A and B are shown apart, each in its own frame.
Chain A
């Protein structure tokens, strides 16, 4: 028994952290808000493709690394750490997973090798069937054609391939939508899109239970992203508390400040074990995975919110300005919390999975 990362996993983590530190400096995050945002995203993705990240979960015989959910969660944590703008969740996790679980041989051959190199990116529109429909959104499928609106689509802007969930839980592959409108959200590092379909041709991806599996995967990846983002906020708060002086002392020597840092660490560290286990269970204990994934998403959302605000507070006034850029992580954590169902949703599913709710 070993509840710890393997040597290879630690190596992967280290090399990603190093590469991302170079690829995603703060100036780059600032440019994302400008017009050349999409250019920056593809530059980061190209950089990550050199490490094989787009093909992380693609089987080796399709040109990928053939790694599992724990490695994907570690990668997501690293991306969250730097608030990296990258189509990871859609292109590197959900699309390959959907193709693996429900794709035909032909569909896999057509898409997986291109996804693996990063030449093709995939958007994912599953918000309505997973989190519930807002403002009358929802896509219906008939005779290989999709009609309706999908909000909060992930990584969909400029994507070559769209994975779409319909209102009855079916999944489809489309190559283009009738219209794609950006949805401005708090987090400029990961843009959301409203997709409109109107008799749009799509291929069905049919395997029962695939949507639930994708939901679990997305929840784990978002939880891991929050873990990484929260770690950065804590690290920066601690570093600032060691350096900033008031009343002739470093503020980190005041218990009022020190205890805030300790509370953040005390919340974050056990959540890491929860996320690791959720990812491990996804591949190795599928019976437990849905429950732990739901809890991981809900719980990291709660502790993430606490850490995001507390770490900002430790910085004092400068924390809320644009100068330090802390807000990129604050907003990233805020977006992860709401995406694909907030913590109440996760807990309701967790209760249902144990027979504690109807």
Chain B
């Protein structure tokens, strides 16, 4: 264990703080005034796409867990927005870096990092949720192309996206895990129909996407034909890391502490109510555990199990933080959308509902528990029932 800040790291921390102080006019309420300009500024200074090679439009620094942590803390401290996330940057880019061809990397990564290409993920289907490998969207070879028919669901940002990374069945006669390919698909290709999927939040954070004879070059396959399942698992690993990100949870807890120290009932601050205070401290212990667990996963070879629990625990924790915020707000906590007494634009209720979706999405909590038990603890798999 060595977490001391060397003089070099202390200087680095000051440098990040100075940067944020100098640019504090460029964001408000945790959001950038110009998202693309902010993203470019962050990449140029090494606060986004930090360890992605310069050849692919990143900053090109050596991966360094402690510097990453220092950046995260300084941004939380300053209430500054982090760089763009989303499925292109968080999932596609690491996947291409791992298995993409040189041409795919140079073509897609730089504009994705700059926020010029928004991606959506075409994985789940109506009949392939937890059993993702059962997906049925077909891609049939036709000359240089594949012709795709089928549909996807839970596709966030499909309406804004220019591109989709998508799982399709290219070898229908092979066992289900071996017949899948991972393809990159322009969303303006004829035959793609995007329909918004409205959720309990009142908004359409997801979409359904329908494919009718959609043509895509075979060259757009990533990681090799029939290798889509392995490639997808690379991506899912990144998604699960993103969904349980302890830095985001820590920022959320800080907002909750601010709420509880500023809101009053009958003139008494919420934090001065011992019941609420105790609940807050319970969550803080969990947030700290996940923070240190996160530091450990970066540098400890024995942290396999610690890595497997991040998505399950992180998403549950975010949900509980939102729940406590709503409870602390009392009747104010049920206000939503708009109105004079509404707090934080109704974000806590929105989080509470949306985060339930994140507990389910990206591998449900139950699938996560299967993974922890089978890969982490070596418990036997459920016997397979023989069916089509």
Q: Do A and B come from one complex?
A: yes
Q: Which residues of B contact A60 (CB under 8 A)?
A: none
Q: Does B342 contact A (CB under 8 A)?
A: no
Could you mark each residue 141-156 of chain A with 1 if its beta carbon is under 8 Å from any beta carbon of chain B, else 0?
0000000000000000
Is the Cβ of A258 less than 8 Å from the Cβ of B1? no
Pair B370/A1 contact, Cβ less than 8 Å? no
Interface contact B293-A273, CB-CB below 8 Å:
yes
Please report the C-alpha to C-alpha distance between residue A2 and residue B300 in the assembled complex, in whole angstroms: 7
A179 within 8 A of B: no
Quick check: is B289 within 8 A (CB to CB) of the other chain? Answer: yes
Tell me the bound Cα distance from A27 to B271 in angstroms: 50
Contact B289 A274 (CB under 8 A): yes
Give A1's nearest chain B residue, CB to CB: B66
Which residues of chain B are near A269, meaning CB under 8 Å?
Answer: 293, 305-306, 309
How would residues 269 to 282 of chain A score, 1 for a CB under 8 Å from any chain B CB and 0 otherwise? 11111101100100
Chain B residues whose CB sits within 8 angstroms of the CB of A262 once the complex forms = 312, 368-370, 372-373, 376-377
A27 CB, min distance to chain B CBs, angstroms: 28
Interface string of B138-181 (1 = CB under 8 A from A): 00000000000000000000000000000000000000000000
Nearest-CB residue, chain B, relative to A5: B1
Cβ A1 vs Cβ B377 within 8 A? no
Any chain A CB within 8 A of the CB of B285?
yes
Query: Which interface residue of A269, A276, A285 has the most chain B CB atoms within 10 A?
Result: A269
Give the B interface residue count (CB, 8 A): 55
B277–A351 CB distance below 8 A: yes
Interface flags, A247-261, vs B, CB<8A=1, else 0: 001101111001101
Please determine whether A265 and B377 come into contact, CB atoms closer than 8 angstroms: yes
| Contact B289 A271, beta carbon cutoff 8 Å | yes
* Contact A258-B306, Cβ < 8 Å, known A238-B377, A270-B292: no
Chain B window 241-259, contacts with chain A (Cβ cutoff 8 Å), 1 for yes, 0 for no: 0000000000000000100
Taking the closest CB of chain B, its distance from the CB of A202, in whole angstroms, is 36
Question: Which one, A255, A276, A350, A358, contacts B281 given CB within 8 A?
Answer: A350
Query: By CB atoms of chain B within 10 A, which of A2, A263, A270, A298 has the most?
Result: A270
Identify which of residues 274-315 in chain B touch chain A, using a CB-to-CB cut-off of 8 Å: 274, 277-278, 280-282, 284-286, 288-290, 292-293, 295-296, 298-303, 305-306, 309, 312-313
Q: How far is the CB of A50 from chain B (nearest CB, A)?
A: 27
Query: Is there contact, CB below 8 Å, between B285 and A274?
Result: yes
Contacts of B302 on A, CB cut-off 8 Å? 4-5
Say whether B312 contacts A266, CB under 8 Å. yes
Q: Is B379 an interface residue (CB 8 A)?
A: yes
Q: With A2-B299, A238-B379 known to touch, is A259 a contact of B369 (CB < 8 Å)?
A: yes
**Which A residues are in CB contact (< 8 Å) with B280?**
351, 356
Closest CB of chain B to A112's CB: distance in Å? Answer: 26
Answer whether residue B200 sits at the interface, using C-beta atoms and an 8 A cutoff: no
Contact A258 B277 (CB under 8 A): no
The contact string, 1 if C-beta is below 8 Å from chain A, for chain B 353-387, is: 00000000000001011101110111111110000
Judge whether A332 is part of the interface by a CB distance below 8 angstroms.
no
Q: Tell me whether B22 is interfacial, beta carbon within 8 Å.
A: no
Whether A70 sits at the interface, judged by CB under 8 Å, is: yes
Whether the Cβ atoms of B296 and A4 lie closer than 8 Å is yes
A284 close to B278 (CB less than 8 A):
no
* Bitwise interface map of A from 77 to 112 toward B, beta carbon under 8 Å scored 1, else 0: 000000000000000000000000000000000000
Complex Cα–Cα for A64 and B177 (A): 59
**Minimum CB–CB distance for A85 against chain B, Å:** 29
Best-surrounded residue of A3, A5, A242, A298 (most CB of chain B within 10 A): A3
Verify if B3 is at the interface (C-beta below 8 Å from A). yes
For residue A277, give the distance in angstroms from its CB to the closest CB of chain B: 5
Q: Would you give the 0/1 interface string for A1-22, flagging 1 where the beta carbon is closer than 8 Å to chain B? A: 1111110000000000000000
Residues in B with CB closer than 8 Å to A284 are 1, 3-4
One of B299, B372, B373 near A4 (C-beta < 8 A): B299
User: Are B281 and A298 in touch, CB under 8 angstroms?
Assistant: yes
Chain A residues in 8 Å Cβ range of B289: 270-271, 273-274, 299
Q: Does B53 contact A (CB under 8 A)?
A: no
Chain A CB within 8 A of B85 CB: no
Find out whether the CB atom of B373 lies under 8 angstroms from the CB atom of A261: yes
Complex Cα–Cα for A274 and B295 (A): 11
Supposing A4-B1, A270-B313, A273-B306 touch, asked if A255 and B288 sit within 8 A by C-beta, the answer is no
Cβ of B54 within 8 Å of any chain A Cβ, yes or no, is no
A-chain residues with CB within 8 Å of residue B331 when the two chains form the complex: none
A347 touches B366 (CB 8 A): no
Q: Is B261 an interface residue (CB 8 A)?
A: yes
Instruction: Give Cα A272–Cα B366 distance, bound, in whole angstroms.
Output: 23
B299 cross-chain contacts in A, Cβ below 8 A: 1-4
B305-A274 in contact (CB<8A): no
In the complex, which of the residues A5, A252, A254, A356 contacts B261, with contact meaning CB atoms closer than 8 Å? Answer: A356
In the assembled complex, which residues on chain A have CB atoms less than 8 Å from the CB atom of B373? 252, 258-259, 261-262, 265
Bound: A252/B104 CA distance, A: 44
The yes or no answer to A327 lying at the interface (CB within 8 A) is no
What chain B residues lie within 8 Å of A358 (beta carbons)? Answer: 272
Report chain B residues within 8 Å CB of A351. 271, 277, 280-281
Q: Which residues of A contact B (CB under 8 A)?
A: 1-6, 70, 238, 241-242, 249-250, 252-255, 258-259, 261-263, 265-266, 269-274, 276-277, 280, 284-285, 292, 295-296, 298-299, 302, 344, 347-348, 350-351, 356-358
What 5 new A-B contacts, CB under 8 Å, besides A262-B372, A266-B372?
A255-B366, A258-B374, A266-B312, A351-B281, A357-B272
Residues of B whose CB lies within 8 Å of any CB of A are 1-4, 9, 64-66, 69, 257, 261, 271-272, 274, 277-278, 280-282, 284-286, 288-290, 292-293, 295-296, 298-303, 305-306, 309, 312-313, 366, 368-370, 372-374, 376-383
A-B contact pairs, 25 of them (CB 8 A): A1-B3, A1-B64, A2-B2, A2-B300, A3-B299, A70-B1, A242-B380, A252-B379, A253-B382, A262-B369, A262-B373, A265-B305, A266-B312, A269-B309, A270-B309, A273-B289, A274-B293, A276-B292, A277-B1, A295-B288, A296-B285, A347-B282, A351-B280, A356-B257, A358-B272
The 4 closest A-B pairs by CB, nearest first: A1-B66, A4-B300, A273-B292, A347-B281
